[in-house]
């Protein structure tokens, strides 16, 4: 059996995949695959609307927020957020705590003035406390990435922003892994391929009053107003991905909802971090303890900078035991275990067992 610890595209719940398999050629009694359905048909409309309604229920999304299903991934939203929001004042605040927020800021700078509210961090291993931020009360919005997939940094608080300034969050890699108050945000977005479905769909939750404020140059495909007016059917949506995502939402509902996912995430990540903490420095996680991600656990072996030979041996042993895609991001190296919702506690325990055995066999 293979255990997939990939950072994305990531593991999906096995029972969801089996349901997809069973219905692949005859979806919901239609006689055809969901991949063949017209996105304008009544059969697909039921899938599309149920997916949106289930997400609204899971997060208790207020009635003055719209849920959009768009394409282009998180990278597309780097541009879409700026194009739809920055026109208010021409400037935006960006909290840069990792690779993805840095890329988002760079993209937004093409459409307005970007204010980096933090002094440049030497390493992306922390989230500076908010009293050190330099927020601009004139900003069109404040942007941050709730969980930095590459570096394994996850916010332990929701930022407070000046009155009248909307908060924008990239939640691509921890979406539906813990409860949060949607009403504190202006825009939330998440690429599906981390925690809620296959690659190709991006969920956007946007407050009503922020729709229709886009720059004139905004392409229709990235235009929140156009997407809202057309129920996310402005063009052909990724129908198969939305179908699978809808099944994942139902799976989450059956398994304790978002609160259930949060409890599971805490238990899984504790197993790995406890193993690291109790290894006398053999395993090393560079991230400050209070902002260590529950979703993406990066670590080095042998030293803070890593022992290439030991890490290569560990990855080889993991793969021999069916644990795959544990290699760290190419920009930081090392090991990275991604513990998204579909990864089970038993699977995480298997990785922990390997870590313990490898430590005993290789400690000095």
Q: Are 272 and 359 in contact (CB under 8 A)?
A: no
- Are 86 and 92 in contact by the 8 Å Cβ rule? The answer is yes
CA distance 121 to 234: 41
Tell me the C-alpha distance between 167 and 176, whole Å. Answer: 18
- Are 173 and 195 within 8 A, CB to CB? yes
CA 61 – CA 204 distance, rounded (Å)? 12
Residue of 11, 66, 194, 327 marked catalytic: 194
Residue 194 falls in the annotated catalytic set: yes
Decide if 100 is catalytic: yes
Residue 170 is among the residues annotated as catalytic for this protein:
yes
> Within 13 Å of residue 191, how many CA atoms lie on the same side as its CB?
23
Cα(197)–Cα(75) distance, rounded to whole angstroms? 17
Question: What are 273's two structure tokens?
Answer: 């971090």
| 54, 93, 146, 170: the active-site residue | 170
Out of 54, 66, 100, 327, pick the active-site residue: 100
251/320 Cα distance (integer angstroms):
30
- 3-state secondary structure at position 113: strand
Identify whether the C-beta of residue 6 lies closer than 8 Å to the C-beta of residue 338: yes
Residues annotated as catalytic (active site), given as ranges: 100, 170, 194
């Amino acid at each position: 059996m293979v255990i997939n610890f990939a950072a994305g595209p990531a593991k999906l719940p096995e029972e969801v995949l089996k349901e997809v398999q069973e219905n692949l050629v005859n979806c919901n009694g239609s006689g055809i695959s969901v991949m063949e359905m017209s996105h304008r048909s009544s059969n697909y409309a039921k899938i599309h609307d149920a997916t949106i309604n289930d997400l609204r229920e899971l997060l208790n999304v207020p009635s003055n927020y719209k849920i959009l299903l768009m394409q282009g991934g998180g990278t597309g939203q780097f541009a879409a957020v700026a194009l739809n929001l920055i026109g208010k004042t021409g400037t935006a605040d960006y909290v840069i705590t990792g690779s993805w927020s840095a890329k988002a800021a760079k993209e937004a700078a093409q459409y307005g003035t970007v204010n980096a509210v933090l002094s440049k961090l030497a390493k992306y291993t922390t989230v500076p406390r908010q009293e050190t931020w330099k927020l601009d009360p004139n900003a069109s919005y404040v942007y941050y990435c709730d969980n930095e997939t590459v570096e394994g940094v996850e916010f332990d608080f929701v930022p407070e922003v000046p009155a009248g300034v909307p908060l924008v969050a990239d939640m691509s890699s921890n979406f539906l892994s813990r409860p949060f108050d949607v009403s504190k945000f202006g825009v939330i977005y998440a690429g599906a391929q981390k925690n809620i479905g296959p690659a190709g769909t991006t969920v956007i939750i946007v407050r009503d009053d922020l729709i229709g404020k886009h720059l004139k140059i905004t392409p229709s495909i990235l235009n929140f107003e156009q997407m809202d007016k057309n129920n996310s059917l402005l063009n052909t949506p990724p129908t198969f991905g939305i179908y699978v995502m809808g099944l994942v939402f139902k799976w989450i509902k059956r398994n304790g909802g978002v609160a259930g996912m949060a409890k599971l995430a805490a238990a899984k990540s504790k197993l790995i971090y406890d193993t690291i903490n109790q290894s006398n420095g053999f395993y090393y996680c560079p991230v400050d303890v209070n902002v260590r991600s529950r979703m993406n656990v990066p670590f080095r072996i042998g030293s803070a900078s890593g022992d290439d030979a030991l890490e290569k041996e560990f990855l080889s042993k993991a793969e021999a035991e069916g644990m795959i895609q544990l290699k760290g991001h190419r920009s930081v190296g090392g090991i990275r275990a991604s513990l998204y919702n579909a990864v089970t506690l038993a699977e995480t325990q298997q990785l922990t067992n390997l870590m313990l055995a490898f430590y005993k066999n290789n400690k000095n």
